[in-house]
Structure 1
Amino acid sequence: MTHLKRFQGIPMSKSMRSLCKEEDYAFLGKSESTTKETTEGAAALEDDWRDRKEERVRRRLEREQQEKDRLREIEERKKEKEQQWRTHVAEVSSSQEKTLQDRLARLRRFREFQKKVLGEDSGMEGEAAGLTVNKLLTRM
């Protein structure tokens, strides 16, 4: 009957109290002492949970920042390569244009040389000789 006195504060019907034994209430005694521990433990768990959540958020932000940095570096490299390519193309086209200008100048000098030689060989002078030489050069 000691259990009746011990757990009298628990709301329960009279018929139920008589049926229950002390063992049935034993968990209540344990739960009262563990309730304080549980509240302290729950607070500690909640602090740990918050810490872990903050850590996860911090790591996520770090990953996002690293990803942004990586993408920015990739963009910079891409722009740099594009600029190098443009410079290369400009240099190549410039050298090709210079080469073509040089060839054109050489061809003009050669054509003048041919006109002069053909004019001297034919022995003609003046405009008539110029027209004949041009016709001969055109056939060649």
Structure 2
Amino acid sequence: MTHVKRFQGIPMSKSMRGLCKEEDYAFLAESEGTAEETAGAVALEDDWRDGKEERVRRRLDRERQEKEKLREIEESKKEKEQQWRSHVAELTSTQEKALQDRLRRLRRFREFQKKVLVEESGMEGLAAGLTVDQLLTRM
């Protein structure tokens, strides 16, 4: 009976109301259906917008996470490269130091050999030095 209340506000004669009763019902059915359809359409549109906003938010979140992951990978690569460089520099330094120590020991040993050969041969001077150098070169 809500239609009666709704249409009482419309200025109309009694006879006219009687004639339009069927039309009133038809109009009410259409307007209520339209209102329901409109409400349904608005709800669907709101749901669609919410879904679209949610999809956009998720996409942006995935992109942000992907960028973060790529940045972390790049940082990890840089850190590993830096560690490798320091490792190689340390190895090079150690090897260089070992070679320098070996060279020093060899030179001392050669000097010792030279000294022993000069003493054993009993020769002194420049000629003895040249002969000893020739002997050491042959060894």
TM-score interval (norm. to shorter): 0.7 to 0.9
For 2:34 and 2:62, how far apart are their aligned partners in 1?
A: 40
Counterpart secondary structure, 2:80: helix
CA-based RMSD of the aligned residues comes to 1.9
Specify the alignment match of 1:74 in structure 2: 73
Alignment of 1:1-140 (within 5 A): 6=22, 32-140=31-139
Measured against aligned partners, the alpha-carbon deviations of 1:89-111 in whole angstroms (never above 9, x if no partner) come to 00000000000000000000000
Measured against aligned partners, the alpha-carbon deviations of 1:64-119 in whole angstroms (never above 9, x if no partner) come to 00000000000001100000000000000000000000000000000000000000
**1:36 offset after TM fit, Å?**
1.5
**1:35 offset after TM fit, Å?**
1.9
Counterpart secondary structure, 1:124: coil
Matched residue pairs, number? 117
For 1:41 and 1:113, how far apart are their aligned partners in 2?
A: 106
Percent sequence identity is 74
Q: TM-score, normalised by structure 2?
A: 0.78
For 1:31 and 1:61, how far apart are their aligned partners in 2?
A: 43
For 1:114 and 1:83, how far apart are their aligned partners in 2?
A: 46
Q: TM-score, normalised by structure 1?
A: 0.78
